[in-house]
Amino acid sequence: MQRPGRDRVAAVSGVLFVVVLLAGLYVAPDLVYPEEQVGGVAGTFYVNYESRLLAQAVLFGVASVLFLFFLGGLRAFLARAEGQDPRLAPVVLAAGAVFTALGLLQAATLTALVALRGNELGVRAQGSGWAARALFYLEGAIGDMALFPFAAFLAAAAIVLVRTRVLPRWLGWIGVALGLVVGLVAAGSIVGLDIEPVDQAIFVLALV
């Protein structure tokens, strides 16, 4: 495949990644805290929304595949812009790969949480509420941690744009600013600051 064809595949993959990821973010409601009582409000939530929650996990998986194709094309584009000794293109590739891996891990944790809650109701078993709560917190923590490599991905790519002027520099400066903001949002989420729904709005803006 010639370079224009490869670049086109990467660009289309990037657009589809944003569309699929946004669909995944909004296909299901926010998770609720798992209660100890089997069949309670939280248990009913995970059963009633099981199909939508699992659809969300599948969409996250599809988005991860699309992002990898986009990431490969972006790395090649940035490496060409940097020249013979690219320094930031490998950073973009590594940060994007870590972001993708954490996204898949978050989707897997969500799937496990839904399966556990459904199994609790199916067998009327008590005592696994602690495991559901652990998965609930783990799913959220993975999502927060994924923002760090995403911030590095945005900042590194944006710095290349600013330095090489391969695209308008204002786009690069916007990317740098978004990378810094995403990094601050990630740190705020980790230390327990209540920044919802600002964090999701900033993440969506960074995607667009």
How far apart, in whole angstroms, are the C-alpha atoms of residue 198 and residue 173? 21
User: Using the 8-state DSSP alphabet, how is residue 88 labeled?
Assistant: S
If one counts every other C-beta atom within 10 angstroms of the C-beta of residue 55, the result is 15
Instruction: Assign 3-state DSSP to the chain and report helix, strand, coil percentages, each to 5.
Output: 80, 0, 20
The total number of structural domains in the chain stands at 1
Give the domain extent around 108.
3-207
Tens of pLDDT along the chain (208 residues) come to 456 666 788 889 999 999 999 999 899 988 888 765 455 555 678 888 889 999 999 999 999 999 999 999 999 999 999 888 888 999 999 999 999 999 999 999 999 988 887 776 655 555 567 788 888 899 989 988 999 999 999 999 999 999 998 888 888 899 899 889 888 888 887 776 665 655 555 555 556 5
Closest CA to 49 of 69, 80, 27: 27
- Tracing tokens 């911030």 back to the chain, one arrives at 151
Integer Cα distance of 79 and 73 in angstroms:
10
CB 159 within 8 A of CB 173: no
Please check whether residue 158 is in contact with residue 179, taking contact to mean a CB–CB distance below 8 angstroms: yes
Distances in Å between the Cα of 53 and the Cα atoms of 110, 160, 201 are: 8, 37, 20
Cβ of 116: how many Cβ atoms within 10 Å?
Answer: 18
Cα gap 176→76, rounded to integer Å: 20
| Phi/psi of residue 175, nearest 5 degrees | -65, -40
